[in-house]
């Protein structure tokens, strides 16, 4: 197996983090944070879509009232 020295150092650092031998964010925590960030982004996008839909239907309702 041929690995660059920096890659090996990164693996050692990550292992120390995961075993609590070094301060920092553990791999599982990092993955959880990324998942929560993706979920938050999706929820913001969904919220924006719902706001636009609400505005559209509110305007359509007002338009029908004025046309009657």
- pLDDT for res 68: 66
| Tokens 């075993």 found at | 19
Query: What is the mean pLDDT for each group of 10 consecutive residues in the chain (68 residues)?
Result: 87 90 90 98 98 94 80
Which residues form the domain of 50?
5-67
- pLDDT for res 62: 84
Number of domains in the chain: 1
The 8-class DSSP code of residue 44 comes to H
| Tokens 């120390």 found at | 16
Backbone angles phi, psi at 66, to 5 degrees: -75, -25
């Amino acid at each position: 197996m041929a690995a660059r020295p920096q890659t090996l150092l990164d693996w050692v650092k990550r292992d120390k983090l995961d075993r609590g031998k070094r301060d920092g964010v553990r791999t599982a925590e990092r993955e959880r944070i990324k998942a929560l960030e993706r979920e938050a982004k999706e929820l913001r996008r969904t919220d924006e879509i719902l706001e636009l839909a609400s505005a559209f239907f509110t305007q359509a309702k007002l338009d029908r009232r004025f046309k009657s």
